[in-house]
Amino acid sequence: MQTKTYLAPTKLEALLKIREEHGADAVILSERTIQKGRLFSKKPMVEIVVGIKSAESEPKAEPRPAPKAEPKGIDEYDPTQTRLRKLEREMQEIRALVQTMHAYITSGATPEGADTETPPPVIATTLDEHPLLRPLMAAGVDEEVARELLRRVPRLPQNAAVDALRRTLMARIPIGGALPRESRHQQVAVLVGPTGVGKTTTIAKLAAIHALDYNRKVALLSLDTYRIGAIQQLRTYADLMNLPLHIATNADEVQEGLEQFAGYDLVLIDTIGRGQRDEAHLQEMREALQPVKGVVYLTLSATADSATLLDAAQRFSVFEPDALILTKLDEAARLGNCVNLALRSTHPFAYFTTGQRVPEDIAIADAQQLACAVLRAIMECPAPHNPLDRSPSRV
């Protein structure tokens, strides 16, 4: 196998170049972001090293290329992994609880009763002086939510308190619903959400990852019930990645599109997000999406305030979302609003997006990352890395 190195400003461009030159014969061996240029004009570039399967040694027997040596990033829907993650979360919860009990015992205070319905009054009154109450609220966490989080967090010492809060947060941020990277059955995913939150950009990121990284057959469908033709952006991405795009304005046309894409592994449906306050339009969109049997992602921006997020979650509940995509985490000044959403919404977070680059700026949602980012605003979070910084995507 020969190796070849590709350098491009974005991963998408690098992948397109590789695909153009070698099609399915290229296998990604490594990937990194490097800084190119002189001192003050350094720019991040994506460097991908591929191995090229030679025609003689490997005749074209395989209809699909083998998966990459080390698939990274967007999660696979492996039930064992899911179970393991659930167990891990449970272990974290238990660990947090044990730590809290330990801190109470060593500080001589009484631990909170097992009866969570009626917490002992002593805890409720001491929460007013909890050293983390005001900082949490300053980070945008609603007082009621902050109190709920701190009920099991010891007041002292400070480090133990922050650590216990991080664990509590992690246990309370529900995660799940990311698209499997392979599946025997066709998957359909639809993104709904308010105007300008990043639905189309997120669709482009997911399409690029699944088509170019995972070699899946991806098709795009845009639901434009307004008939305003606002599909140019998606068309550009579709053309760039050579993916088919179907435009639908009603349920029949959606059905047509789905039939047309019957042989595809993944159909991503974009919706035009006008009129979040226009109930009639939301209803019209809902009817148009009736033929869709797939996962519904409610896409929300981390830059919105808590009231707007909860209002959107309530309005878009007519679409019965399965999971949330939280966008623009890179732009959010405070993340307390996301904590409020996590504790009040019944849906798990599937993806976080952290920038405009396609497909780099998207990752599977991670409770630890969000918890640490929230706490970082309060004080240095004892985490191995600063995860929501604009770092190379995990994909």
Closest CA to 299 of 316, 278, 274: 316
- Determine the Cα–Cα distance for residues 132 and 374; give it in Å rounded to an integer: 12
Helix axes 336-344 and 367-376, enclosed angle (nearest 10): 140
Task: Report the site for ligand GTP in 168-197 (rule: CB under 6 A).
Answer: 195-197
Toward ligand GTP, which CB reaches closer, 154 or 321? 321
Interaction mask 211-250, ligand GTP, x per CB under 6 A:
----------------------x-----------------
Smallest distance, ligand GTP to C-beta of residue 320, A? 19
Q: Do residues 166 and 371 lie in contact, with contact meaning Cβ atoms separated by under 8 Å?
A: yes
Q: Do residues 299 and 199 lie in contact, with contact meaning Cβ atoms separated by under 8 Å?
A: yes
Query: 3-state DSSP helix/strand/coil percent for the chain, to nearest 5?
Result: 40, 20, 40
Toward Mg ion, which CB reaches closer, 215 or 301? 301
- Determine the Cα–Cα distance for residues 241 and 253; give it in Å rounded to an integer: 23
- The reply to whether 273 sits near ligand GTP by the rule CB under 6 A is yes
Smallest distance, ligand GTP to C-beta of residue 358, A? 8
Toward ligand GTP, which CB reaches closer, 188 or 203? 203
Torsional sign, CA 168, 169, 170, 172: positive
Half-sphere exposure of 290 (CA within 13 A, CB side): 9
* 5 token code pair: 């190195």
Closest CA to 73 of 3, 198, 178, 170: 178
Smallest distance, ligand GTP to C-beta of residue 188, A? 18
- The reply to whether 278 sits near ligand GTP by the rule CB under 6 A is no
Stretch in the footprint of ligand GTP (CB under 6 A) among 73-81, 97-105, 127-135, 323-331: 323-331
Toward ligand GTP, which CB reaches closer, 86 or 277? 277
Smallest distance, Mg ion to C-beta of residue 293, A? 23
Residue of the chain from 340, 361, 393, 395 that contacts ligand GTP (CB under 6 A): 361
- Determine the Cα–Cα distance for residues 14 and 5; give it in Å rounded to an integer: 10
Stretch in the footprint of ligand GTP (CB under 6 A) among 82-90, 130-138, 338-346, 351-359: 351-359
Query: What single DSSP character describes residue 156?
Result: S
Toward Mg ion, which CB reaches closer, 130 or 199? 199
Q: Do residues 72 and 394 lie in contact, with contact meaning Cβ atoms separated by under 8 Å?
A: yes
Smallest distance, ligand GTP to C-beta of residue 220, A? 13
Q: What is the DSSP string of 17-45?
A: HHHHHHGGGEEEEEEEEEEESSGGG-EEE
Residue of the chain from 76, 182, 253, 330 that contacts ligand GTP (CB under 6 A): 330
Closest CA to 229 of 272, 287, 275, 261: 272
Toward ligand GTP, which CB reaches closer, 161 or 204? 204
Q: Is residue 331 helix, strand or coil?
A: coil
Toward ligand GTP, which CB reaches closer, 197 or 298? 197
Smallest distance, ligand GTP to C-beta of residue 36, A? 23
Toward ligand GTP, which CB reaches closer, 145 or 179? 179
Task: Report the site for Mg ion in 195-234 (rule: CB under 5 A).
Answer: 199-200
Q: How many residues bind ligand GTP (CB under 6 A)?
A: 19
Beta bridge partners of 44: 35
Q: Which residues bind Mg ion (CB under 5 A)?
A: 199-200
Give residues in contact with ligand GTP (CB under 6 A). Answer: 195-201, 233, 272-273, 327-328, 330-331, 353-356, 361
